[in-house]
Amino acid sequence: DDMLLEPGSPQERAYNWLKNEDESDNCSGTMGQRYGLAVFYYSTNGPSWNETDGWLGPNDVCSWTSIKCDFNGNVAGLRLNDNGLGGSLPTEITALTSLSKLRVFNNAITGQVPTQLYSLPNIELLDLESNFLTGQVFVPDLANAAGTLKRFRCSDNAFVGTIDGDV
């Protein structure tokens, strides 16, 4: 990933955190989740969030605030509404392959929604309302989530385009 090499990028900052600061047992099979969450943290201005308890700490990610895990210890939910998030949603969020619920409403997130979110196998809820997201929201990739996505809240953003009749 070219972003990994770009000094100061969220990807480079997450990599450096894992390499130099993370005190967790990175042999536990959770490194992908930790990296995805660290990129998410840096991409959405984590140091400026209202609530950050546990984030980028040595404990299991399941103990970090606003994270819910399934019985296997995989991140299944992020509930970061009204938390002062800014920046943009990174594609690395798809490292959370068990993610079923993403709630980031009422923040100041900008940019486009990574279409890879729609390919997560368990995604049921995307709540992106009341941010500053742009671009096309009803893209062909949205059909990838048709079997699992039950709620998709995206109002009060700056999206453009029309809703396809097949959605």
pTM score of the predicted model: 0.92
Q: How far is CA 132 from CA 10, 75, 88, 156, in A?
A: 20, 25, 9, 8
Separation CA 166–CA 140 (nearest Å):
10
CB of 117 closer than 8 Å to CB of 90: no
pLDDT in tens, 132-150: 999 998 888 888 788 899 9
Average pLDDT over residues 81-94: 97
